[in-house]
Structure 1
């Protein structure tokens, strides 16, 4: 599927694009059924909340064929190439899970500062695709964003001082790594609160509710967040981030692990038409 010129213009202007019913109910059900198979015990790919529930599963395509196919889906790859303007590779792939009555928030942040400062990626023109596996609304942690905020580039960070992560997020095996401070509910590069308020007053805050199977394409510098899950039902969202093959990470001295930062820079050429 190719995006229309109107869709591309809307993305460039607002920093995001939502499309409903992007995957069929059968494809979504397949991904939901396969999700438990992406979880490995005592794996650094699995990030836990402080209460022990799963917060994120990174690189599900490492061990699951259905999720690998998802990363090669023509409906994802072709639009990502259009938005980025070049051949692309998969930079990051994760499942964010908000467990019923437990799923924690994601503070207001931009994604690109992590990729720029931690991974050494120079340009911000990566695009992420969020896929809802359940009907998602404000009550169970839908994506919240501020339109047009991507135009500001990397903005001033909140001064968190001693708040910044005395508690590291947990691996299932309790490893403690510096880069974990970008993965928990108290992430390190959050947006200055005064700036956030000013821009929210100017541009408003959009809560991107959607039915299962809907997707949101969004820019790496877009301000976004999500709230806790107050419902008695789990909420799972899949996120894939694509980057240009001409915009590779340059941090080779202390790189983050491959499940956080894709190391296969070959252009995605093998496209698939459906999830199975």
Structure 2
């Protein structure tokens, strides 16, 4: 079931730049089903977390750990997703799913995400090896400069982990190092069409502006981990459970369960939002 999905050039780009864009990763029919599920399933809305940026605008996300038998679980567990992760992270250990999150950046009010590395958060979970963590973002709506698309610093994953502190309610990277990176490396606005995927390294520096447009920007991000990468401050267990892969056709053809069965993150349980003492160093 698992076959290589990326070309050698795409693998080379990921290793060189820290990210790669896959056009038309999901079909229009799949995106329509995913997006309407996100809008219509009360579990997403009832379990959404609001995090303030530095200006007080709210960034909203719903985050869950175990990939289930709902339509988002079928995407996360799909052969195309897991194959891509395995191709980029290697086959030294089985692919596991750390968590997925629905990013909900609403028109006019959706806040910014400050400069950060995902491993800047996950370091607090005490994952040992950032090279064994990866994220795949699938655009559910158009993402462009006007509605706050992701910005990345090309090649910044090679910096290693940058120190992070609090920026509003978010965890943000040391801006002196970010500014140094911006002087040294290229800033890229990752504009996506619905169904496009962005695959990126856990140490890639990225941010997004507030959504000041009249169009929403929604996306789903699935984060994966190799089973060999232990986390010593993580209470969920999905990060070390091999993904139970389903065929790509499951998204459209299998009957999905409700997202109400998902194990959503509660804000008070997120290690990334807790002081450890080193944030102000």
Structure 2 length normalisation: TM-score? Answer: 0.79
Q: Is the 8 A contact 2:59 2:112 kept in 1?
A: no
Give 5+ residue unaligned stretches, structure 1: 166-185
Q: Give the counterpart of 1:120 among 126, 129, 132.
A: 126
Q: How does 1:1-276 map to 2 (within 5 A)?
A: 2-40=5-43, 43=46, 45-48=47-50, 55-59=60-64, 65-86=70-91, 87-116=94-123, 118-125=124-131, 126-157=133-164, 165=168, 186-188=169-171, 190-251=172-233, 255=234, 258=236, 262-263=237-238, 265-274=240-249, 275-276=251-252
Q: What value does the CA root-mean-square deviation take over the aligned residues?
A: 2.4
Deviation at 1:120, TM superposition (A): 1.4
Gaps of 5+ in 2: 253-281
Residues 104/24 of structure 1: CA separation in 2 closer, same or farther (3 Å cut): same
In the alignment, the residues of structure 2 paired with residue 49 and residue 84 of structure 1 have an alpha-carbon distance, to the nearest angstrom, of 31
Equivalent residue of 2:170, what SS? coil
- TM-score, normalising length: structure 1: 0.80
How far apart in 2 are the matches of 1:102 and 1:235? 11
Aligned length: 242
Does the residue aligned with 2:61 lie in a helix, a strand or coil? strand
Q: CA deviation at 1:74?
A: 1.4
- Write out per-residue CA displacement over residues 2-58 of structure 1, whole angstroms, 9 at most, x where no aligned residue: 212211111001000001111100000000111034443895x42025689770011
CA contact (8 A) 2:28 2:195 kept: yes
Structure 1: distance between partners of 2:100 and 2:75: 10
2: CA distance, partners of 1:19 / 1:42: 28
